[in-house]
Homo-oligomer: A and B are copies of this chain.
Amino acid sequence: MHQPCKDPLERFVEQCRDHNLRVTPQRTAVYEELMSAANHPSAELVYHRVREKLRHISFDTVNRTLLKFAEISLIGTVEGSGEPRRFDPDTSRHDHVICSRCGRIVDLAPPAADDPPVPPEIRRRYLVTNRRVVFRGTCEACQADQEPQGRRTSARIR
């Protein structure tokens, strides 16, 4: 082998094998496109871009592929996106814990001190009005519940 650091494509093929997913031209194209994407694209956007390479690919394939990739944690999703809008009666500064399994959101008091600072370049270029820390994980109830479920790949953080 002559590649000391594993390139993304290799990681992709490896992950597919680990999860019994076949390596198809469509999946490869979607993966490559997403890896070169700068800004957290929607399925729609990935579809339009991939289409320049694989002119006959369907939207459904792109969407299913992205969902599948997220399921095996090859990629991530922006928390909240793709789910029905939810309202928050509390407009004061506070944090959230979201259960990735059941979707329940629990409020957290913000840290007594040491609120995460707005980075200087961001404060200069944005009119920042809101800040929140979002934790994702599996709640007690869902841990107890045995139902088979997607994304179980990720490891606990400290």
Q: How far is the CA of A116 from the CA of B80 in the complex (A)?
A: 20
Residues B125 and A84 in contact, CB atoms below 8 Å apart = no
Q: How far is the CA of A155 from the CA of B115 in the complex (A)?
A: 17
Residues of B within 8 A of A74 (CB): 91
Residues A76 and B87 in contact, CB atoms below 8 Å apart = yes
Residues of B within 8 A of A25 (CB): none
Q: In the complex this chain forms, how many copies of it are found? A: 2
What number of A residues sit within 8 Å (CB to CB) of B?
71
Q: How far is the CA of A80 from the CA of B158 in the complex (A)?
A: 25
Taking CB atoms and an 8 Å cut-off, the chain A residues in 23-46 that contact chain B are 34-35, 37, 39-44, 46
Residues B108 and A119 in contact, CB atoms below 8 Å apart = yes
Residues A79 and B39 in contact, CB atoms below 8 Å apart = no
Q: A43-B84, A79-B80, A134-B131 are in contact. Are A126 and B104 (CB under 8 A)?
A: no
Residues of B within 8 A of A87 (CB): 34, 40-43, 46, 66, 69-70, 75-78
Contact sample, A vs B, 13 pairs, CB 8 Å cutoff:
A40-B105, A43-B87, A74-B91, A76-B90, A77-B85, A77-B86, A78-B85, A78-B86, A80-B83, A123-B158, A127-B156, A129-B157, A133-B134
